[in-house]
């Protein structure tokens, strides 16, 4: 009778190989890649905010949700991107409020020239009840706004002359955002406002289609406007907020836990963008001077405020004098 040999245990390698079909049969962890855009150059405050937001999403979801960032208007101008987010053909955007008032009219009040005293005032308004109540208006317009980010205080540049008083701006053809509140205010300074997508501005300045433009220091730096503009005047005439928005389609599919991750990522993004704005404001003027720009640091703000007084009467009719006063009263 032949002896029966005992079965040898499988080697670790053989056991692992035997398990492979079982592992292959398990569903892989689904990964979502969001398409996020903005109009400024890589390294700008928008780009810093976008990268921070995406890094925090990746970390907070253990890699389940990632982003692909499209900088410098690769997905279109701000209006086009807001429309795409609303339609769901783009997942997320960081945008100035410039065109957003066309979608959510209530936020136009924030675009009134000389409404905010300084950065601390603007941030307190946006982070407080007024700003949070305004964010609550977005879902009804087919948009989800996660947080107020920042663009900064806007200043005028041009190739004609230094601007010290409001009268110096008279007759200048300046590129503006597609924003009726801005344009109404600028007309009181005698400016000829020319609305144009941010993606077209450098070429328009280079070709002399417009005399100048107005943007925060960080945008002037990132967009290299010093190459095509001679004069910069620190008018600080408008504080320009920004928004981090996602499409309702993306938001509606998130679990409650992931929604909290998105909100926390947005808060980190805002902090990073504001720090970059602060750094650009502190260090950018030296670079712009080095690049050859002539800078007027002391502007006659009183002349601008006097010139815009008639427009304020119209703003009070449109937005309510009480709402404007409530914003101005925030300390």
Q: In terms of C-beta density within 10 A (0-12 exposed, 13-18 middle, 19 or more buried), how is residue 120 classed?
A: exposed
Q: Supply angle C-alpha 175, 181, 187, rounded to 5.
A: 60
Pair of tokens at residue 52: 């921070």
For domain 31-329, which architecture applies?
3-Layer(aba) Sandwich (3.40)
Pairing of strands 294-296, 231-246: parallel
Q: Write phi, then psi, for 263 (nearest 5 degrees).
A: -65, -40
Between CA 285 and CA 288 the distance in angstroms is 5
Q: Write phi, then psi, for 200 (nearest 5 degrees).
A: -105, -5
Whole-structure pTM value: 0.89
> CB 214: neighbour CB atoms within 10 A?
25
Strands (E), 79-227: 92-96, 144-158, 173-176, 192-195, 212-215
Report pLDDT for 1.
Answer: 44
Report pLDDT for 28.
Answer: 46
pLDDT along the chain (331 residues), means of 10: 46 44 46 97 97 98 97 97 98 96 96 97 98 98 97 98 98 95 96 96 98 98 98 98 98 98 98 98 96 98 97 96 98 94
Region of 171 (left: φ > 0; alpha: ψ -120 to 50; beta: rest) is left
Q: Write phi, then psi, for 164 (nearest 5 degrees).
A: -110, -40
Provide DSSP, 198-222.
GGGHHHHHHHTSSSEEEE-HHHHHH
Between CA 44 and CA 38 the distance in angstroms is 10
Provide DSSP, 85-102.
HHHTSS-EEEEESTTGGG
Q: Write phi, then psi, for 36 (nearest 5 degrees).
A: -120, 135
Matching residue, tokens 């987010």: 85
Between CA 60 and CA 265 the distance in angstroms is 8
Please enumerate in sequence order all residues whose Cβ is within 8 A of that of 232, keeping only pairs 6 or more positions apart, or say none: 155, 156, 157, 220, 288, 293, 294, 295, 296
Report pLDDT for 178.
Answer: 87
């Amino acid at each position: 009778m032949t002896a029966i040999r005992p079965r040898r245990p499988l080697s670790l390698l053989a056991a692992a190989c035997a398990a492979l079909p079982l592992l292959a049969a398990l569903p892989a962890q689904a990964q979502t890649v969001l398409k996020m855009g903005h109009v400024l150059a890589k390294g700008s405050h928008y780009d810093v905010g976008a990268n921070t937001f995406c890094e925090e999403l990746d970390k907070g979801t253990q890699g389940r949700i990632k982003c692909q960032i499209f900088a410098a208007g690769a997905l279109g101008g701000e209006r086009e991107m807001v429309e795409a987010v609303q339609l769901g053909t783009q997942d997320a955007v960081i945008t100035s409020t410039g065109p957003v008032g066309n979608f959510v009219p209530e936020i136009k009040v924030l675009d009134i020239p000389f409404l905010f005293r300084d950065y601390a005032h603007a941030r307190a308004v946006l982070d407080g009840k007024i700003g949070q109540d305004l964010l609550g208006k977005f879902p009804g317009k087919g948009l989800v706004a996660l947080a107020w980010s920042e663009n900064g205080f806007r200043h005028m540049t041009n190739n004609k002359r230094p601007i010290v008083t409001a009268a110096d701006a008279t007759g200048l053809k300046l590129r503006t955002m597609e924003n009726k509140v801005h344009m109404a205010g600028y007309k009181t300074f005698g400016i000829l406002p020319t609305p144009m997508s941010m993606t077209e501005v450098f070429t328009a300045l280079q070709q002399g289609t417009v005399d100048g433009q107005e943007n925060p220091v960080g945008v002037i730096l990132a967009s290299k406007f010093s190459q095509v503009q001679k004069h910069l005047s620190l008018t600080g005439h408008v504080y320009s907020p920004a928004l981090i928005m996602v499409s309702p389609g993306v938001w509606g599919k998130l679990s409650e836990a992931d929604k909290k991750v998105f909100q926390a990522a947005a808060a980190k993004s805002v902090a990073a963008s504001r720090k970059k704005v602060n750094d650009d404001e502190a260090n950018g003027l030296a670079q712009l001077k080095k690049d050859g720009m002539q800078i007027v640091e002391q502007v006659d703000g009183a002349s601008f405020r006097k010139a815009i007084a008639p427009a304020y009467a119209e703003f009070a009719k449109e937005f309510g004098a009480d709402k404007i006063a409530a914003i101005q009263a925030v300390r």
